[in-house]
Structure 1
Amino acid sequence: MSRRDVLKGSALVALGACAAPLHKTGSKPKVVIVGGGVGGLATLRHLIDTHPDAFDITLIEPKTTYTTCFYSNLYVGGLRPLSSLQFRYDAIARRPGVQVVHDRVAAILPTERRVRTSTGVTFDYDRLVVSPGIAVDYTGLPGWSEQAARRMPHAWQSGSQAQLLQRQLATVPDGGLIVVIAPPNPYRCPPGPYERVSMMAHALTVSGRIGARIIIIDPKESFSKQPLFQQGWERHYPGMIEWLPPMVHDGVRRIDANTMTVETGFETYRNCALVNVIPRQSAGEIAVDAGLAAPGGYCVVDPTTLKSQHDDAIHVLGDAADAGDMPKSAFAANSQARVVAQTIREELIQAAHIEATYDNTCWSLIDTNDSVYVGGQYRPSGNRITQIESVISSPADPDEVRATNYGASAAWYLGLTSALFA
């Protein structure tokens, strides 16, 4: 795969005109989309961009402002303002045939093909698209809870947690200790915890707090882009970051948010200046409550249509889906949305068939203008989505290539968010 291939699909582009004419049945097919993140919004945009008058679409999303989790590490590191990550749904709501409902889905009623919101309003559907993102597990680490997260934030969902984390980072003294607890697989954005550590180290370094230390307690024996991150840490932040795999720390035994203590099997870290706990994750709450999730916490889907294994009229995509070899990322969610929208068009308005293909690219910033990437192309194979090609940055890439990578990631972010919220 070439570098040009990595950037394919980086903007939200229409799939092209479908040759088959729409059939007239008196009323438009109803599509209900649960979740206004990338997966849900991209599905909506792919539907209306190719057939703007073909569907009645209802998007149900509790928040009126969407804050992207992707790129939020750059906010934590002081490289982007929070406002640059925030978007409203006003333009989408003005689209013909689109209704935006700011409410929470309380129940999915598959027998009636209906959803009910927390305020008791119901919406019927011909196809339901479920893209609720993730839920974090507040019970998997002894002593850490939803209340403890007010002092030891996860900042792995959009909202106020990233702001809390940035405020805490600003108060870390020179010589202070930061502990980051990384999550077990699978989780949202595999390189994300290590980019976050990089951005923490960047913020500490540019403010002169080079005596601070960051300890990563990881339940995994290896992590995404590991050689690239560790090379970058040694280059930009020598001696500041230490990564501990399970064989070194023997597991997290206890967390105490009141005393800012993290106890592992081999060592206890007391009076930490900051503790960032990124816990185990699962599909968003509504997907689990509706019985769409498997025992592993995510929703098993058909690899060619992303339909739930439990219901032929329900698609699940994005971070909530078990998408085989595909990582959980905004890029992947947009790629999956193309397939979901195409399947809906084929089945409800007899659009021409297009084979399902998927791609992903994930950039990570280690320091200013030092960006690395990993990418892949994927195809359905048997009962899962399988990676067929992969590409990754080289440790030998020159500085100008790393700077170009950052420019590509910024262009992708701008292109995607501009298209989603237009």
Structure 2
Amino acid sequence: MIDVRPILDAAWRAHAAGVLGVLARRLGDLDRAEEALQDAMADALRRWPAEGVPENVPGWLVTAAWHRALDRLRREATGREKLAVLAATPPAEPTGDDRLALLFACCHPSLEEPAQMALTLHAMAGLPADKIAAAFLLPRSTMAQRLVRAKRRLRGVGFEVGDPLTRLPAVLAVIYLIYNEGHLDESRVLAHEALDLARQLAALLPDAPEAAGLAALVELHESRAAARLDAHGHLVLLEHQDRTRWDRSLIRGALARLARAAAQNRPGPYQLEAAIAALHALAPSYPDTDWPAVRRRYDDLLVLCPSPVVLLGRAVATGFVDGPAAALAEVDALADRLAGYRLWHATRADLLARLNRTAEAREATRRALALATNAAERELLARRLAGLSVP
């Protein structure tokens, strides 16, 4: 008999989100849908070695899971009334709409951000609670409870997408948060899952340029992954990275995706952030980046998303266009809004060092180090601090 476990693993990765989506939409309960799919996977593990792998794997899983869900409802007094309604119309084979419905449900506004991220990774990416807990440096029990509460909160809220554009910003934000949470981690688990989710969303919503913008942005960030850490696992900033290690095929794909999105002439913040990342990707070196163009893109971004963090990014470009003194004035003007933000202190430290104001640069680096939580960032800042000597 054949070992079907690798086939089942591949099927889970490829089809679980769609199957969960169609089941959740029919049952109105993600928890029930997940239980039914797990039962169907167990059935497949028992039956496929003898019966063979079905030609239509997702269709088989939907049918098997549906029968298992109905069996559970028959055994529950509270489910018998619902059973009469559901049993008459079995679900169809999963489609892209089902995946989209599940993704939007995971990012439902009734859930807090950490729960949205965890549930998206669990339901859409198929990650178990222990892997998600490890990625977020949380105890497994804490993550398991978070997932249980999130699924309970979704009972009865409905799994219909409706107008996707109204909920799209929240979904995009959750995927980008997942990426940012994991892009500096050596395991790359969260980064890879976020990249996959961004690509799926762009494929499911071809007429939404911001979905393509996010996918392009994550692809451009990922193109630098091999150069982001040195041989000792130490963080290497963009200005010092070996650009020969960047993934040029990934960059070309991202640029093509971004161009298609821009052709729709509906600009948005993710497209603009991707445009900034593209300017870095195309530059022969950090100093030779088209910094005036970078600053113009930040100006465009400020129109759509006026925020002190965007102003901070603009100030970095100003440092190369007008010099570090002009940039420091822009950074210092943000003190009342960003004094608790580690990157504000780190940016300020860099500008002070370029102006040979070493003692102030050391103090700003200390402040950034005190606020940093990521291990790779802390190690980098510690090295910077050690390298700043007071004359």
TM-score (norm 1): 0.25
The structure, 1 or 2, with the larger RCO (C-alpha pairs under 8 Å, 6+ apart) is: 1
* Higher strand fraction (1 or 2): 1
Which entry has the higher C-alpha Rg, 1 or 2?
2
* Higher helix fraction (1 or 2): 2
TM-score (norm 2): 0.26
